[in-house]
Amino acid sequence: MNIYELPELPLNEEITTILAENKNIRIERIASTGQTSDWYDQNETEFIILAEGNAVIEYENNKRVVMSKGDTLLIEPHERHRVSFTSENPPCVWICVFY
């Protein structure tokens, strides 16, 4: 698999592909083109690599993280957050590691 091979753009919805997983870890590729999210409150730690595109992550405490291609972010368990912006061109290609 090539993480940059995507279906025809723009995407109607985010596409999540599980790249690997076991009982301790899950690695996902997420592709998005303008989609945003509701609030997340996860039990897991999430390490994010934005491999392509631009995005904004907002936290419940009004903290905002502007991300560009190559940026990484660590989200601790139960740190309420949401994706408030994803670029369409180029699309966002996320690699997310949950543990």
Say how far residue 36 (Cα) sits from the centre of its chain.
10
* Domain-embedded: residue 66: yes
**Per-residue pLDDT tens digits for 73-91:** 999 999 999 999 999 999 9
* Domain-embedded: residue 35: yes
Per-residue pLDDT at 44: 97
* Domain-embedded: residue 1: no
Cβ–Cβ under 8 Å, residues 28 and 17: yes
As a whole number of Å, the end-to-end CA separation of the chain is 22
Give the residues across from 82 on adjacent strands.
Answer: 58
Listed residue (26, 41, 36) closest to 79, CA to CA: 41
Q: Would you place residue 19 in the very low, low, confident or very high pLDDT band (cuts 50, 70, 90)?
A: very high
* Domain-embedded: residue 67: yes
In the predicted structure, residue 18 carries a pLDDT above the cut 90: yes
Measured between alpha carbons, how far is 31 from 10 in angstroms, rounded to an integer?
Answer: 10
List the domain range (segments joined by +) for residue 36: 15-98
* Domain-embedded: residue 5: no
* Domain-embedded: residue 3: no
For 51, residues 6+ apart whose C-beta sits below 8 A from its C-beta are 3, 4, 69, 70, 93, 94, 95
* Domain-embedded: residue 4: no
* Domain-embedded: residue 36: yes
3-class DSSP assignment, residue 12: coil
> pTM here?
0.92
The CATH number assigned to the domain holding 79 equals: 2.60.120.10
Number of domains in the chain: 1
Per-residue pLDDT at 10: 80
